[in-house]
Structure 1
Amino acid sequence: MQRFCAVLAGLSLTALGVAAVDPAAFKAAVELYQQHKPLEAQKAFETLAQADGKNADIQFYLGRLALQRDDHEQAVACFEKAVALVPDDARFHHRLGDAYGLAAQKAGLFSKISLAGKCQAEYEKAVELDGKSVDARQSLFNFYLQAPGFAGGSKEKALTQAEEIKRLDPPRGRQIFAAYYANEQKYALALAEFDEVLKDKPDDYTSLYQVGRLAANTGQFLDRGLAALRRCVELPAPAGEPGHAAAHWRIGNILEKQGDKPGARAAYEASLKADPKFPQAIEALKKL
């Protein structure tokens, strides 16, 4: 859930290493990505990559787009190239960790353990390079929380990251603690953490989405979750957050749980209208 828009705005295109490509074209491609237009963004960045195959930032965005469409092989290739080109950029290590994590989910047992180790190493490197990156710390928190102990998981280390995130960004810290409580199946406590954020920021997209996700995953608080997700699709999705395709898919999940199959179908179709290649919605429609 990386929020790097402000960083991009504050840096010159030359500093980003895009001197070999048309700066206006690069900026336009970034805007397409930020506007959640994956097909147009993919085409734009592929064109830029043809002009400069050694541009780390272009590889970074191509990797992000590959992650969005669940293509772990392409994501790993792009982020490994970005890291090789610019080894000291925390963003690249962070998202390479994401790519290894996605690859691990799809791998066999022995490969899964190896990839989990690579995922952990990249997240830890990202935090080492940029200790103030809440996004990198959140990914490391998720790894520690979700991975089994033999693969590097640790609730104690997860809580250490949660406390540091809360110090750096109190609202995000509440969201992180909510994730911890949800993992412990303390769903009411998780919802209470999100409610504290929404009390001050009722249109906080991330918290609204996570309330919906909590409902969809647990089967509890379904009406709350449905209302939260429907508000999400009325709001612009921040860059780096699950977009409207994901929100519509979660709406479909909840409607299925409520026995409303026509409504669920409409939600999955709305998801694919937002992103025609959104894999979870494609699979959900097949199973409906």
Structure 2
Amino acid sequence: MKKIIVVFLVFPLLILAQPNFDKGEKLFKEGKYEQAQPVFESSLKENPNHLKTLEYLGDIAGHQKAWDKAIVYYKKLKLLKPSEANYYFKYGGVLGMKAKESNKFRALGLIGEVKASFEKAIALNPKHIEARWALVMIYIQLPGIVGGSETKAIKYSNELLKLSPVDGFLSRGQIEEHFERYPSAETQYKKAIAAGSTKTGNKMLASLYKNKMNQPEKAAKIKI
């Protein structure tokens, strides 16, 4: 009897929360993030552990560059569903952005957790492409003294190549470009274009010609 009473008490709240969520989701998908935010916040009060509401609010906070707020939402998602790779990926992403905008000492204290979050995403989803991309960029951008490693960047790039030739070639191109091996980067970008990455590959190749190889005439011939 008590269970029946509880159901009747909770059911109206669920009905009330769902229209709020649906409205917020519609606004979010239309790119109206500022309008969607208070709707989702209202929905969350009725259902504090609703995963998709938390994720949307985290995404909105990230879009607004409110890193601390986004961290809170994604951290809660990790606790509620520790088997979901994307929650770790998104948590690592906003934590990385916070590190990027922090002073050097604060950033160094966050890098380990950023890496661990992306690695956890890969462990949960061995085919997670975005997490490997993130690790490639981290390892080439960090100085070696604080954990940067070309070897590790190449390792993840090779893994990307097996999962997606386009991403493998593009990521290897980024590595080669970062270390100023421009002809090699050019080759990798051309391979990516041949593999099907016309838009991103063309953009990266044109940027390489224009900004690194001092060949603006070649850049001008590339359709972006």
Residue aligning to 1:218: 212
1:209 is aligned, of 203, 206, 209, to: 203
Residue aligning to 1:95: 90
Residue aligning to 1:177: 172
Provide the C-alpha distance between the structure 2 equivalents of 1:99 and 1:166, rounded to a whole number of angstroms. Answer: 26
Cα deviation for residue 131 of structure 1 reads 1.0
Q: Does 1:21 align with 2:13?
A: no
Matches within 5 A, 1:24-39: 24-25=22-23, 28-29=26-27, 31-32=29-30, 37=31
Cα deviation for residue 111 of structure 1 reads 0.9
Structure 1 unaligned spans of 5+: 1-19, 232-288
Q: Does 1:51 align with 2:49?
A: no
Maintained 8 Å contact 1:141/1:161: yes
Q: CA RMSD in A?
A: 2.8
Provide the C-alpha distance between the structure 2 equivalents of 1:129 and 1:144, rounded to a whole number of angstroms. Answer: 21
Cα deviation for residue 73 of structure 1 reads 2.4
Structure 2 unaligned spans of 5+: 1-16
Maintained 8 Å contact 1:97/1:122: yes
TM-score, normalization: structure 1? 0.62
Percent of paired sites with the same residue: 22
Deviates more, 1:111-120 or 1:186-195: 186-195
Paired residues in the alignment total: 205
Q: Does 1:189 align with 2:184?
A: yes
Residue aligning to 2:33: 41
What is the DSSP-based 3-state SS (H/G/I as helix, E as strand, rest coil) of the residue aligned with 1:21? helix
Larger Rg belongs to: 2
Following TM superposition, the consecutive aligned residue runs of length 4 or more in structure 1 with deviations greater than 6 angstroms are none
Provide the C-alpha distance between the structure 1 equivalents of 2:62 and 2:186, rounded to a whole number of angstroms. Answer: 28
Deviations 1:67-121 (A, max 9, x none): 3443322332332232232222111111111111111112122211111111111
Maintained 8 Å contact 1:42/1:62: no
Maintained 8 Å contact 2:166/2:195: no
| Alignment-mate amino acid for residue 208 of structure 1 | N
What is the DSSP-based 3-state SS (H/G/I as helix, E as strand, rest coil) of the residue aligned with 2:18? coil
Maintained 8 Å contact 2:166/2:196: no
Maintained 8 Å contact 2:37/2:60: no
Maintained 8 Å contact 2:61/2:70: yes
Distance of aligned partners of 1:29 and 1:113 in 2 relative to their CA distance in 1, 3 Å threshold: same
Deviations 1:150-200 (A, max 9, x none): 433222111111111101111111001101101111123212222222235
Residue aligning to 2:5: none
Residue aligning to 2:134: 139
| Alignment-mate amino acid for residue 28 of structure 1 | K
Deviations 1:227-286 (A, max 9, x none): 65x73xxxxxxxxxxxxxxxxxxxxxxxxxxxxxxxxxxxxxxxxxxxxxxxxxxxxxxx
Maintained 8 Å contact 1:91/1:126: yes
Distance of aligned partners of 1:217 and 1:148 in 2 relative to their CA distance in 1, 3 Å threshold: same
Residue aligning to 2:10: none
Provide the C-alpha distance between the structure 2 equivalents of 1:76 and 1:108, rounded to a whole number of angstroms. Answer: 18
Cα deviation for residue 50 of structure 1 reads 1.8
Provide the C-alpha distance between the structure 2 equivalents of 1:159 and 1:76, rounded to a whole number of angstroms. Answer: 29
Q: Which structure's relative contact order is higher, taking Cα pairs within 8 Å and 6+ residues apart? A: 1
Cα deviation for residue 27 of structure 1 reads 5.2
Provide the C-alpha distance between the structure 2 equivalents of 1:41 and 1:213, rounded to a whole number of angstroms. Answer: 31
Matches within 5 A, 1:1-288: 21-22=18-19, 24-25=22-23, 28-29=26-27, 31-32=29-30, 37=31, 40-52=32-44, 53-201=48-196, 204-214=198-208, 218=212, 220-225=214-219, 231=224
TM-score, normalization: structure 2? 0.77
Cα deviation for residue 215 of structure 1 reads 5.3
